[in-house]
Amino acid sequence: MSDCLFCKIADKTIPAKLVYEDDRALAFRDLNPQAPTHVLIVPRKHIPSLNELTDADAALVGHLHVVARQVAHDEGIAADGYRVLFNTGKLAGQTVFHIHLHLIGGRALGWPPG
Ligand code: AMP
Ligand code: ZN
């Protein structure tokens, strides 16, 4: 999608600090990190939010989690623990409407989230 920030990061029109990429997904550091490790894992396919997900996207969303596991390992946070989440819609604070899995770790995380 031409006016989508994360599509532009995926096609390298806008720079980001990439930590992983393959043919279906990429992962890059969040511009405004909320923890020592804060990485966004993004499909190359433009899907605005989980509300627009279809059954055909199930393997892709599974893949995002496999990438999260790999990045958590590479960041050295796998053993101590971390959180992955999708914000969906305005009450959850979603600001970029191209799905992205937040991978957050490197410090103790409160529960429930605010
Ligand atoms: P969300 O609120 O779940 O939609 O998350 C959007 C995230 O994207 C926020 O954590 C932002 O800090 C992050 N973000 C916005 N612009 C950029 C960018 N250009 N590069 C990396 N992260 C970004
Ligand atoms: Zn997009």
Q: What pLDDT is stored for residue 89 in this prediction?
A: 97
Domain tally, the chain:
1
CATH number at residue 65: 3.30.428.10
From the CA of 28, which ligand is nearest?
A: 1
Q: Residue 20: inside a domain, yes or no? A: yes
Q: Residue 111: inside a domain, yes or no? A: no
Q: Residue 71: inside a domain, yes or no? A: yes
Residue 36 structural domain: 5-105
> Which of 18, 40, 47, 94 best tests ligand 1's pocket when mutated (most atoms within 8 Å of CB)?
40
Is the predicted pLDDT of residue 75 greater than 90, yes or no? yes
Q: Residue 93: inside a domain, yes or no? A: yes
Q: What pLDDT is stored for residue 12 in this prediction?
A: 96
The answer to whether 96 touches 20, Cβ cutoff 8 Å, is no
Q: Residue 110: inside a domain, yes or no? A: no
Cα–Cα distance measured from residue 41 to residue 101, given in angstroms and rounded to the nearest whole number: 5
Cα–Cα distance measured from residue 20 to residue 80, given in angstroms and rounded to the nearest whole number: 21
Sign, CA torsion 3/88/104/70 = negative
Q: What is the mean pLDDT of residues 73-90?
A: 98
* 100 is known as an active-site residue: yes
Q: What pLDDT is stored for residue 114 in this prediction?
A: 85
Does the global pTM surpass 0.95? Answer: yes
Q: Residue 46: inside a domain, yes or no? A: yes
> Which tens digit of pLDDT belongs to each residue from 2-58?
899 999 999 999 999 999 999 999 999 999 999 999 999 999 999 999 999 999 999
Q: Residue 113: inside a domain, yes or no? A: no
